[in-house]
Amino acid sequence: MSETVRVIRGERESAYLVAEEREDGSLLLVPAQSDVVAVRAGAGDAPAAVAPASVVPTTEAILDVDGLSVAYGDQLAVSDLSFQIRRGEIFGFLGPNGAGKTSTLSAIEGLVKPRSGAVLLDGIEVRSHPMQAKARMGVQLQATSFQAELTITQIVRLYAGLYGVELSAQQISENLKEIGLGAEADKRFKQLSGGQQQRLSLYVAVVHSPLLLLLDEPTAGLDPQSRRQLWTRIQSIRQGGGSILLTTHSMEEAQAVCDRVAIIDHGVLLTADTPARLIEKHREDPKVRAVAHGEVTLEDVFIGLTGSEIRE
Amino acid sequence: MSNSDATPGPPLKLVFKSLLRADFEVFLQRRRALVVGLLLPIFLLVTTRGDKAAHQFDGAVFIIGLAISYALLATSVLGYALTVSRDRERGVFQRLRVTPAATWTIMASRLTVQVLVNLIISLVVVIVGTRIHHISPSIGQYGLVLAVSILGGAVFLSIGQALAGLVKSAETMQALARVLFAVLILLGILGQTGALGTFWSDIARWSPVGVVMTLFAGVLQLSDWHSRETFSILACFVYVAVCTGLGIRWFQWDTR
């Protein structure tokens, strides 16, 4: 890590060190004293350029989860979980099935009442001020379901209104054209393809330009083209200054896209850091080495930490 | 440091307007169900046209009351409760709940549209019924019919809400709602005719369908208003209070 790269953003100039130079020419940039801020990767369906310098995350926390515990009856789904998400950051929340990812997201979204702990969004306590907090977040649930009888235009108008955004018919039409759904304006949600549904769900989630976007497995079931398109949109949301918390089972995507990732299992946070640092930290871990084939990847670290057994 | 006082959530008026508009659009899409729901009450009115049939049912006004009660029960239990149950299972409520809309606005909007539907149904049945049975209610009586429609609709909606609260699965709800619907209607018809004996006749009279029928008949024949009609109003409020309490206490927004 010796080469220095200077990045100019407006009138500011920042220095970054090249943490890694990959075979495909991509660079992993690390600011002198902070986290990884820019990854250029091109593997598989992951985006080719995911973190332009103009969207370097700040150290200011937009979301602060402190000692969060969620239980369903006697079953503890999340236990004493703490983490922060910074402004302009893409934060990956990784874990096997049933690890507690969706429960954590549900607590942040205000869908479940935590047993203990606090969630602060932009300084607002989510439990005591749910409406103000929800107005600042956009949510894409794992399985989005809009009213089956409504057309796409009607869905957009409804959800924009719920976030306090009044859109005229012309504005809705133009916005739908922008996301490639202009011809589908009068169709029902179920009549759209998987990729189109995902685009609409994402558009509805960000119709009010939220400070924090929560995405629960946004790429599940999408073809490579739709995935690529989705990541491009997520990047543009981040460039607009938003922070993103996402869950995914694709380690390749997480490694390529996320500024930082947290790995959770059995409701407990196992580790959280930049993908590069996690790999570095656990490179020599025997459990990780045992599952790695060649160069250690984030997936190797994930499986090493959470085990190889299949979860239901 | 808290930002909670800095920027409030979206304006309540806009939130409610958006929900109401969407729920009305959903209703318009389901208007065929409304028409189908009106067919049987109108069939009942037509087939009981003769004096003999009307006499068996304690007079024409009771038949009109029964027809309206049937229609309100159908739209509230088979319509409202089933839709709530299905939307919950599909995750529609979860999607709405992650927005800044207060949960009471989500339900209030649906109930407002349902009350409007109940009023339309009641008016249609009363107009058709009075024409067929040659009754001439005054404008004031039409007003009272609308008032009783709201109260009667509230009784059946609260039963629907209680069902939605107590039964989680949409499939179970569908089966149970149909059974309940049949039981209440049969109790209303057979109990009223006295075919099941005095005991069942008394039960039928104070059943949800019975008290609503009594009220509709009462406002269409004000000269026969007695203490039974007055107590029927009280019974309606008791049904609404108990069933709404059950429906709110046990209601869950998701099926988890």
| Site from B98, B103, B252 to mutate, A interface, most A CB atoms within 10 angstroms | B98
Q: Which residues of B touch A123 (CB under 8 A)?
A: 1-4
Give tens-digit pLDDT for B73-115. 888 888 888 889 999 999 999 999 999 999 999 999 999 999 8
Closest residue in B to A157 (Cα–Cα): B18
- Which residue's entry shows tokens 């890590």? A1
Nearest to B156 by CA among B89, B49, B80, B234: B80
- Which of B1, B8, B17 is nearest residue A132 as measured by Cβ atoms? B8
Which residue intervals of chain A bear CATH 3.40.50.300? 4-136+210-306
C-alpha to C-alpha distance for A157 and B19, rounded to whole angstroms = 10
User: In chain A, which ranges are E strands?
Assistant: 4-9, 12-21, 27-31, 38-39, 61-72, 75-86, 90-94, 116-121, 124-125, 137-140, 212-216, 243-247, 260-265, 268-273
| pLDDT for the residue A150 | 94
Nearest to A258 by CA among A38, A96, A45: A38
C-alpha to C-alpha distance for B34 and B248, rounded to whole angstroms = 26
In this structure, CATH architecture of domain A4-136+210-306: 3-Layer(aba) Sandwich (3.40)
Average pLDDT rounded to a whole number, residues A295-309: 88
The angle subtended at Cα B95 by Cα A129 and Cα A46, nearest 5°, is 105
Q: How many CB pairs under 8 A join A and B?
A: 109
Average pLDDT rounded to a whole number, residues A261-287: 93
Average pLDDT rounded to a whole number, residues A111-127: 93
Closest residue in B to A62 (Cα–Cα): B3
Closest residue in A to B101 (Cα–Cα): A162
Give tens-digit pLDDT for A184-202. 999 999 899 888 898 899 9
Q: How far is A69 from chain B (nearest CA, A)?
A: 18
pTM equals 0.81
Give tens-digit pLDDT for A82-112. 999 999 999 999 999 889 999 999 999 998 9
Give the CA distances from residue A127 to residues A65, A118, A133, A134, in Å, rounded to whole numbers and listed in that order.
12, 8, 9, 10
Percent of all residues in chain B with a pLDDT value above 70, rounded to a whole number: 93
**pLDDT at residue A143 tops 80:** no
Q: Find out whether B10 and A210 touch, Cβ atoms under 8 Å.
A: no
- Would you give the distance in Å from CA B94 to the centre of its chain? 25
Closest residue in B to A148 (Cα–Cα): B26
Cβ-based neighbours of A165, under 8 Å, separated by 6 or more = A207, A208, B10
Q: How many beta carbons lie within 10 A of that of residue B149, not counting itself? A: 26
C-alpha to C-alpha distance for B24 and B51, rounded to whole angstroms = 40
Residue B113 touches partner A, C-beta closer than 8 Å: no
Residues belonging to chain A with any Cβ–Cβ distance to chain B shorter than 8 Å: 72, 109-111, 122-125, 128-132, 134-135, 137, 139, 141, 143-150, 154, 157-166
- Which helix (H) or strand (E) segment holds residue B171: the answer is helix B170-193
Name the residue ranges covered by the structural domains of chain B. Answer: 13-249
Give tens-digit pLDDT for A4-53. 655 544 444 555 555 555 555 555 555 444 333 333 333 344 443 334 33
Q: How far is A157 from chain B (nearest CA, A)?
A: 7
| Site from A162, A209, A211 to mutate, B interface, most B CB atoms within 10 angstroms | A162
| pLDDT for the residue A21 | 58
Strand partners, A84: A64
Q: Judging by DSSP bridges, how do beta strands A124-125 and A116-121 pair with one another? A: antiparallel
Give tens-digit pLDDT for B206-219. 999 889 988 988 88
Q: Which residues of B touch A162 (CB under 8 A)?
A: 10, 15, 18-19, 96, 99-101
| pLDDT for the residue B198 | 82
Q: Do B98 and A109 touch (CB under 8 A)?
A: yes
Closest residue in B to A130 (Cα–Cα): B100
Q: Find out whether B64 and B27 touch, Cβ atoms under 8 Å.
A: no
The rounded mean pLDDT for chain B is 86
C-alpha to C-alpha distance for B190 and B186, rounded to whole angstroms = 6
Q: Do B90 and A145 touch (CB under 8 A)?
A: yes
The angle subtended at Cα A128 by Cα A125 and Cα A134, nearest 5°, is 65
| pLDDT for the residue B190 | 74
Q: How far is A252 from chain B (nearest CA, A)?
A: 29
Q: Which residues of B touch A168 (CB under 8 A)?
A: none
C-alpha to C-alpha distance for A137 and A204, rounded to whole angstroms = 12
Q: Residues in chain B with pLDDT < 50?
A: 1-2, 4
C-alpha to C-alpha distance for A100 and A107, rounded to whole angstroms = 11
Closest residue in B to A131 (Cα–Cα): B100
C-alpha to C-alpha distance for B161 and B164, rounded to whole angstroms = 5
Q: Which residues of B touch A134 (CB under 8 A)?
A: 9, 98-100
- Which residue's entry shows tokens 């939130």? B15
Q: Do B100 and A134 touch (CB under 8 A)?
A: yes
- Which of B4, B14, B22 is nearest residue A129 as measured by Cβ atoms? B4
